[in-house]
Amino acid sequence: MEKSSSTLIARLLGGSLVKQIMIGLLAGIALAWFSKDTALAVGLLGSLFVNALKAVAPLLVLVLVIASIANHKHGQKSNIRPIILLYLLSTFFAAVVAVVCSHLYPQVLTLSAAQTEITPPSGIVEVLNGLLMSMVANPFDALIHANYIGILVWAIGLGIAFRHSSESTKQLLNDASDAVTWMVRIVIRCAPLGIFGLVASILASTGFSALWNYAHLLTLLIGCMLLMALVFNPMLVWWKIRRNPYPLVFTCLRESGVTAFFTRSSAANIPVNMALAKRLGLDEDTWSVSIPLGATISMAGASITITVLTLAAVNTLGIHVDVPTAVLLSLVASLCACGASGVAGGSLLLIPVACNMFGIPNDVAMQVVAVGFIIGVLQDSAETALNSSTDILFTAAVCQAEEQRAAAKSPS
């Protein structure tokens, strides 16, 4: 009996995580259909899973980055610069795609008075100020509040300092990194149960009735995100690896995008992306830094959301947008997206910043934000899936391109 139980547990832990997640997804839909009260109750499983990911992610980033930099050898390449370039290009291209699609398929909103206690940033200067202040945050405060900018700054600084430490200290850092990674693997194996709870509770509590009123807007948003995920991101990957990018694209969408779709948090998906990077055999010195950094600045989905909803407000108010203004909006939306927090709905609060450049009053801009929260069940899920899968996609592309270059240089 004990042997059969241990065999079952081993099979569950060693089975395909994606298949198990799909089973959890279907089970959640079925439960929400047959029993709304039970579906709401099992939402606890989803909350526990997301909170566990959010709890372990800051510590994972801190320990991995410190260990990676401390053990980094002089002259060893980390390939961070080309990855950052791809992150920024993708975020800007996403804004351009959103501008073009919004021009071809213009949207009009029904705005009404909306009461909210959320105070958005008042402009680009405030967004930049927030980013700079995050860099000098207290390290314990940064860990508690999942301030990844602050965590990265402290981790990089401590990592550089530990490069001059003894080998035994560096080994301790490596052991700590392995221990936290093991904890992360345990949490990720709970993903099927977490997705089951999330899907069941979301469908039971909201359904899709409220989404039908904004079906056209959702179609545009998700269409732009699909264009980025399946056309423009693959083009950028091909530019780096010079071969068919779609096997890598579909792997990242399947392994990272599906989980991010349901957690709706780039920050919570950091451990998932790091686990995938390890399975792909990527350079740990690279992905241990690029993936948490991508959760902060690789925001193609957020760029699309900010641009589309801002232009919907502009169309509603009858404001003319010329080409130079459209280009400026793309730059502003890209910068705002990079300042968006890696949590559910983080990009929506930066819509008033983009609206400000058209002179749209803050009370009207906040009504647009309210519309964003109404459609957030799908919009924010798709946005996070694009954001997070892009992080691992570009990291993998640059690492594989570097491997190809090294193989071409080595004697046969």
Cα–Cα distance measured from residue 46 to residue 200, given in angstroms and rounded to the nearest whole number: 9
Taking CA atoms, 388 is separated from 29, 222, 256, 368, in Å, by: 24, 15, 7, 25
Q: For tokens 């690789």, name the residue.
A: 298
Q: What is the pLDDT of residue 6?
A: 53
**Residues 6+ away with beta carbon under 8 Å from 38:** 31, 200
Q: What is the pLDDT of residue 153?
A: 82
CB 71 within 8 A of CB 165: no
3-state secondary structure of 145: coil
Q: Which two tokens stand for residue 28?
A: 């959640």
Return d(Cα 346, Cα 369) in angstroms, integer.
Answer: 11
Q: What is the pLDDT along the chain (412 residues), one digit of tens a residue?
A: 455 555 555 555 556 666 787 788 788 888 888 888 888 888 888 888 878 877 877 887 788 778 877 776 655 566 888 998 999 999 999 999 999 999 999 888 866 544 444 444 455 565 567 667 877 888 888 888 777 668 878 888 888 888 888 888 888 888 888 888 788 778 878 878 887 887 788 778 766 555 566 788 889 999 999 999 999 999 999 999 989 999 999 999 999 998 888 877 777 788 889 889 999 999 888 888 888 888 878 889 989 999 999 999 888 888 888 888 888 888 888 877 775 654 455 677 678 777 877 777 767 777 787 777 767 778 888 998 999 999 999 999 999 998 888 777 766 5
Token pair 């060893």 is found at 76
SS3 384: helix
Burial of 348 (0-12, 13-18, 19+ CB in 10 A): buried
In this structure, is the dihedral angle defined by the CA atoms of residues 111, 117, 120 and 126, taken in order, positive or negative?
positive
DSSP 195-220: HHHHHHHHHHHTTTGGGGGGHHHHHH
Backbone φ and ψ for 74, nearest 5 degrees, come out as -60, 130
Helix (H) or strand (E) holding 261: helix 258-263
The dihedral through the CA atoms of 387, 70, 59, 182 has a sign that is positive
Give me the pLDDT at residue 119, please: 47
Q: Which whole-number Å values give the CA distances from 143 to 54, 60, 121, 265, in the listed order?
A: 10, 10, 23, 16
Torsion angle in degrees (nearest 10) through CA of 225, 129, 141, 84: 40
Q: For residue 246, what pLDDT is reported?
A: 96
Distances (CA, A) of 152 to 58, 69, 155, 230, 382: 9, 11, 5, 30, 26
pLDDT at position 68: 72
Which H/E stretch holds residue 239? helix 233-241
pLDDT of residue 113: 43
